[in-house]
Amino acid sequence: MQEARLYERLEENRVRCALCAHRCVINEGQRGICHVRENRGGTLYTLVYGRLIAQHVDPVEKKPLYHFYPGSTAYSIATPGCNFRCRWCQNWEISQMPREQHLVLGRAVPPEEVVADARRAGSRRIAYTYTEPTIFFEYAYDTARIAHREGIHNTFVTNGYMTPEAVDTIDGYLDAATVDFKGSGDPDFYRSFCKVTNTGPIYQSLLEMKQKKIFIEITNLIVTGGGDSREAFLKLVRWIIDNLGSDVPLHILRFFPSYLYTSRPPPPVSFLEELWKISKSEGLKYVYLGNVPGHKYENTYCPRCNNLLIERFGFEVGSIRLKGRRCAFCDEEINVII
Ligand SMILES: [Zn+2]
């Protein structure tokens, strides 16, 4: 078992974890909110180091990353556990396994082997995804360091609920991140649907990532019945523009019923289109609809001349009309890494 990083020892053998923004104070013999970090005799251990519960070769578009090596693949991995409890979680069987079943299953795979498997699969990127990479940070960190030595990029798909210390530690090894908002960051929604009382740290980690020049894309899941406020949506869009810039890609994702939240239908596509138009009229340059395969708003259009630059269908990429990082039609610089 691996000792955890980022925690401090307190009196009476307690510890305070500094990995995610919950900053759990954990008594001896207990685990944190994530249920995968345990205090044994005043030392904090991670229970998920090298415990691979999922590994797949995915298109980067599935993360989603639309502006980071479009059309390439990401070797995608996860361990069990999460620091959130989203009522609609699509991956609840693995994300909530430690909490609900008191199990931490997974195949023992050391970081070196993850990187070797990614190479064998022909992937130049590793995505830490499906569950929350923050809670398997030590494993992700060691894997990311080896990956970089081999010229492989690292990308987190995260709820953003990490500490500045965590972002600072992975700095230099994390190349890109998809940061996932739920219900446009509405604090009431996070409280009642995700068991998260303070959304401030998500914005804080985005600012940290921007400062460290980690490539950012943002997703926002629109959830029927609480996570679909227009007001919260507009607030989020304005925050992105003011703090991260108008060229950060925003993915408006359509919720589908799952896990504990199956009583409400997905939001109408017409409503998502309305949110798309709001985002564009506010000034965001690259806005997408997600989980609506075949929709024209899966494509990338030039923010200046409106020509189609990257064609997509679901996670498939069609033609790419760029000259380097510029629009092939009007020469506008596009926020894309290819
Ligand atoms: Zn153009």
What is the Å distance from ligand 1's center to 313 Cα?
21
Q: Which residue has the tokens 């904090």?
A: 44
- Interval 155-181 mean pLDDT: 98
How many Å apart are CA 208 and CA 67, to the nearest integer?
20
What is the Å distance from ligand 1's center to 65 Cα?
21
The predicted structure's pLDDT at residue 60? 98
What is the Å distance from ligand 1's center to 301 Cα?
8
What is the Å distance from ligand 1's center to 267 Cα?
32
Is residue 207's pLDDT more than 90? yes
What is the Å distance from ligand 1's center to 140 Cα?
38
What is the Å distance from ligand 1's center to 303 Cα?
7
- Interval 324-332 mean pLDDT: 98
As a three-state string, the secondary structure of the chain is CEECCCEEECHHHCEEECCECCCCEECCCCECCCCCEEEECCEEEECCCCEECEEEEEEHHHCCCCCECCCCEEEEEECCCCCCCCCCCCCHHHHCHHHHCCCCCCEECCHHHHHHHHHHCCCCEEEECCCCHHHHHHHHHHHHHHHHHCCCEEEEEECCCECHHHHHHHCCCCCEEEEEEEHHHCHHHHHHHHCCCCCHHHHHHHHHHHHCCCEEEEEEEEECCCECCHHHHHHHHHHHHHHCCCCCCEEEEECCCECCECCCCCCCHHHHHHHHHHHHHHCCCCEEEECCCCCHHHCEECCCCCCEEEEEECCEEEEECEECCEECCCCCECCCEC
What is the Å distance from ligand 1's center to 278 Cα?
21
- Interval 93-109 mean pLDDT: 95
How many Å apart are CA 114 and CA 27, to the nearest integer?
33
The predicted structure's pLDDT at residue 305? 98
pLDDT per residue over 275-317, tens digit each? 999 999 999 999 999 999 999 999 999 999 999 999 999 999 9
What is the Å distance from ligand 1's center to 275 Cα?
23
Q: Which residue has the tokens 């909490």?
A: 99
pLDDT per residue over 68-79, tens digit each? 999 999 999 999
pLDDT category of residue 185 using cuts at 50, 70 and 90 = very high
pLDDT category of residue 11 using cuts at 50, 70 and 90 = very high
pLDDT > 90 fraction of the chain, expressed in percent and rounded = 100
What is the Å distance from ligand 1's center to 302 Cα?
5
Is residue 254's pLDDT more than 90? yes
pLDDT category of residue 1 using cuts at 50, 70 and 90 = confident
The predicted structure's pLDDT at residue 270? 98
Contact 42, 15 (CB under 8 A): yes
What is the Å distance from ligand 1's center to 122 Cα?
32
The predicted structure's pLDDT at residue 283? 98
The predicted structure's pLDDT at residue 209? 98
